[in-house]
Structure 1
């Protein structure tokens, strides 16, 4: 058994968001309990497990993700890490299609070595601000949106970029407000700096107080901000 550690969303070692990647032989996953034990031992925010599928189907690889304490339905950076391993080991040469709990995901490699992920957008539904959320998060929400069943987060808009950067959540309390986590976001103070919005992702309910970079969160952030900016 060989586990690879890949730093996603970066071109520098020891930065970005590290993920474990384990490519399995054969056409099935071990028991979920064993996968969870491995992820706990790796002890990164997510560990991806993938096995090849027979040719000619709708996907090339089956993919699952585990935090140290729970399985999750979608994970961006560990998918990117898995695609990187498949391409750098020669197991994939073109677009790679994964089948996962959240549906079919794809990754395309480019000549410069970069990868593009194609994920479905998450449906957004505005909700009342839950009682106690402001205290748990450490900031006053402007609006709160649910993000659908696959990521199961609360997307919380704050008044400005400074408010997002200043958050110091009560993680035990925050864990009670979402199945997976809470995404805090605000418009950029100065879009001339090269970004349109800021965000932070908190996932204490699945063992990750704050994730360095959360790719799957952008399946909700992108449609949220594209309608506003």
Structure 2
């Protein structure tokens, strides 16, 4: 029996098509195996694909995320993409609950063209960055090196956002330089008008070489810069080739609000 799955491609963290970070969104109405979801994500070839299934009321769904290589427990841009699709399919609702594989309840709200996502706040601890990893990134010096355990990501702060923009890593050397992280996030204070900090995210170990705009890293990046800038609300810019933006706000000790926009650029049916 042929299974037909409504499938979308959505550009997240942007107000323009073909910018931001493209994610796949599959509306699952029949049970798929983990292997099938992994193969679909590999076939689409995007940094992540979200698989969503309605679980009860009009606004409650399960959500799972797969890169072309593995399942990812939490993904910001694919959550934003899935939210954009759901709000278009169900224009009468303005709030969504997404239940993740980690039993997180992601609460998403619509505010005109802007979508707000409530994410958890994670912490970082100091961790050494191997010289081989810095060499592969093309970095001669860093200001700080920290690690987040929930995402298994190494954070590197550097002094210049211009250096950040010009980074051109050797990804084969980068993969050999570390064997126990999902990715490395490089960040700097922004010199761009209207923005507080910038970042780029490289993850050849578990996804594509570079994720164009990454909401999930802000679960710890927002707290990191909040402590340095003494601000709760900040504007973040990801200076990848596609570029993207978001507003982040720390609410209390354990909730992060991420606000941005998304653009649906493709709708079709995937056949299994």
TM-score, with structure 2 as normaliser: 0.76
Map 1:1-229; keep pairs closer than 5 Å.
1-25=5-29, 29-55=31-57, 60-90=60-90, 93-102=93-102, 103-110=104-111, 112-139=112-139, 140-149=141-150, 151-176=151-176, 177=178, 178-189=180-191, 193-229=193-229
1:131 shift after superposition:
4.1
Q: Distance in 1 between matches of 2:162 and 2:78?
A: 29
Residues 61-117 of structure 1 show CA distances to partners (whole Å, capped at 9, x for unaligned) of 11111111211111101000101111101176031111113422121011x221001
Structure with greater helix percent: 1
TM-score, with structure 1 as normaliser: 0.90
Residues 173-214 of structure 1 show CA distances to partners (whole Å, capped at 9, x for unaligned) of 323535321110011235xx1111111010111231111111
Aligned residues: 221
Q: Distance in 2 between matches of 1:137 and 1:70?
A: 23
1:10 shift after superposition:
1.5
Q: Give the unaligned 5+ runs of structure 1.
A: none
Structure with greater strand percent: 2
Q: Distance in 2 between matches of 1:6 and 1:181?
A: 23
1:55 shift after superposition:
4.1
Contact 1:17-1:212 within 8 A present in 2 as well? yes
Contact 1:129-1:143 within 8 A present in 2 as well? no
